[in-house]
Amino acid sequence: MNKINKPSKWIKLSLVPALIITIIISLSFTDNDFEISKNLDIFATLYKELNMNYVDEINAGDLMKKGIDAMLESLDPYTVYIPESKIEDYKLLTTGQYGGVGALIQKRDNFVIISDPYEGFPADKSGLKAGDKILEVNGNSTKGKSVDDISSVLRGQPGTSITVLIERDGENKPFEKTIVRENVKLENIPYSGLLDNSIGYIKLNSFTENAGREVRDAFLKCKEKSTSLKGIIIDLRGNGGGLLQEAVNIVNIFTPQDMLVVSTKSKFKERNFQHKTVFPGVDETIPLAILVDKGSASASEIVSGAIQDLDRGVIIGQKSYGKGLVQNILPLSYNTQLKVTIAKYYVPSGRCIQEIDYAHRNADGEVHDFPDSLKKAFKTKIGRVVYDGGGIDPDIAVTPATYSNLTFSLISKFLVFDFATIYYRQNKSIPSAESFEITEDIWNQFQNFIKSKEYDYTTNTEKNLEKLKEIAEKEKYFDAIQNEYNNLKTKLKHDKNADLIKFKDEIKFMLKDEIIGRYYYQKGKIISSLKDDPEIIKAKEILNNNELYKSILNGTYKKEKAK
């Protein structure tokens, strides 16, 4: 009976959509688009036959989403299907806001914990702290649930409430908190201010709505506070981008009216656009330093690329990510959407900074970076040579900080995190974010804390020695060198106590960052990091030396190797 009933079920659920698709095809495509029409018809027929004949029941929605995702996967990673359930996530990317409790969470063992409550938002106001374990949400156990699962439950309509059962280190038993959701707005600028009373600093985390206005306001505040402002640092490190127009607005603050900032080019000429500055600049002469790293992408690269091409400021740090693709979000039926790559963008010199060529894949589907041999030279406004095909190369390269495997182990095992949680519970206050340091007393407390903890690790030298053994065994040389190998392995075996001393400075930095976050949130972490940040130190050095600054922009400066 089940098999007899299936065709009638299909008539209701599948034949009607197939008929609609057929009608749309006949109305929308000309004879020149026969291949499109043919393949859509094949797809609709296949979908129908699967539903009618497959041995088990099929979840039509899941099957269709997998098919769509697989199809889009052959393009680029930025062209994606957005189901109705994920619409709010994509609104966050453009508006920077969502309805929820306002906290970062992460998975730890079988539960999710609060890792960083946002200052002044519901989780913080209700008393939730970093380290709190979420046992239940609205009476439902969270055990085994993913971060995405819990995040989707914590988010919701502003004004609605949610009850969470919390387990906290130091408390005798779990307790409940009822939290009223609010409209949570993530800040484009978590911190701005003066460095040494003469250099303005603006940390820009994203390019959501009004980012340009916020940067302008932060800049004007710096000018108001200092009568001898020598320059401005705009920190775009880790900024993955956002709205193209906001990038144009930020460049407009420091450049004249009617300057080309970025061009977008698609396969249709009528969709090609030039984005120029609309207003006179707020300050067209103040020295600028733009900080970038491998996490600076998209709109960050528009700003840094335009500033570099117009010889308007110095770019400092590491090569940026290399995302020169422009996306648009298109509405689909049933409140779904398609985020689709519609163009590539080009900064004023004419170069495209897209790092990976998704249009030309190998037979196995792999994509590769543009080789140096295919990169083209372009010139800035004054004539400096710059290159396409791989992000923005900084004018002044600074080697990023690297950390030992010991430090990674202490972080991944939550030992730095847990110590900060205990320290916060035992100390009601600490000095200001600018002045707090990890004293010898705090360091000794940390060493005592980890004595009984498991945090083993493998050094890079030990890893390479193990690789040597594997190769030697494969090539049948190991028996001849086994004694030497064992001796070398013994000599190279890491000593935890010795490594704690060797890598003390970097571990103290991580401890300091985590502890300050408990008291002063994200803003405090930024303030604390400023005085020892190598890129900021280099930026201040350049902005305080007018001759050096000018020599970089006019092309007479001889580049140093990254330090």
Which of 42, 43, 51 minimizes the C-alpha distance to 12?
Answer: 51
91 is catalytic: no
Number of C-beta neighbours around residue 144 at 10 A: 8
309 is catalytic: yes
With the CA atoms of 223, 224, 227 and 231 taken in that order, what torsion angle do they form, in degrees rounded to the nearest 10?
-10
Which residues does 161 contact at the CB level (< 8 Å), separation at least 6? 178, 179, 180, 181
What is the DSSP code string of 417-449?
HHHHHHHHHH-S--S-TTT----HHHHHHHHHH
The answer to whether the beta carbons of residues 530 and 539 sit under 8 Å apart is: no
Give dist(CA 370, CA 367) in Å, integer: 10
Give dist(CA 332, CA 472) in Å, integer: 58
Give dist(CA 235, CA 50) in Å, integer: 53
298 is catalytic: yes
Catalytic residue among 14, 115, 263, 298: 298
The answer to whether the beta carbons of residues 457 and 403 sit under 8 Å apart is: no
Which DSSP category does 530 fall into? G
The answer to whether the beta carbons of residues 305 and 387 sit under 8 Å apart is: no
Give dist(CA 475, CA 314) in Å, integer: 52
Catalytic residue among 133, 203, 319, 323: 323
Catalytic residue among 76, 116, 235, 309: 309
- CA 3, distance to chain mean position in Å, is 50
The helix (run of H) or strand (run of E) holding residue 21 is helix 16-28
Could you list the active site residues?
Answer: 298, 309, 323
